[in-house]
Amino acid sequence: MKLISCPECENQILERLGTVCPKCGHTVGYFNESTKRPKYGKFFALSVFLPFLSFLLIIISSMNEIFFAFGVIFYLVVAYKSCPYLHKDLFITKFEAIFFWGVWILVNALLLSMIYNVSNKLQII
């Protein structure tokens, strides 16, 4: 396990969530690092908000093949950028990693089935 300096007394403690410093009693919180919190916020927005935008864009663009192609390209970029593998250093617990992988797989499966159905409707496939 990686050791970090306690923010209160500079004693070396484990980085693991919930570790209590034996010297001063400080408990390691979820976001002790100042750099991890903004990255986690961006990843959360990528995971939740942008797939919803992809969904709306695909629905709106389903009337025209060119706009549909742009919607699919936007979806592919968002799916790549929000892949939990690219953000694996942000996950503290195994449950958190499994949860985000599950959400990512479910959302992308639904969006891919929607793209398939719209492409059949537009007779692209």
- Give residue-wise pLDDT tens across range 68-94: 888 889 889 988 988 889 888 877 778
Tell me the torsion sign for CA atoms 37, 40, 45, 48: negative
pLDDT given at position 35:
59
**Residue burial 34-56, b: 16+ Cβ < 10 Å; e: rest:** eeeeeebeebeebbeebbeebbe
pLDDT of 16 reads 67
Name the pLDDT band for 102 (thresholds 50, 70, 90). Answer: very high
Output the pTM of the full model: 0.64
pLDDT band per the 50, 70, 90 thresholds, residue 34: low
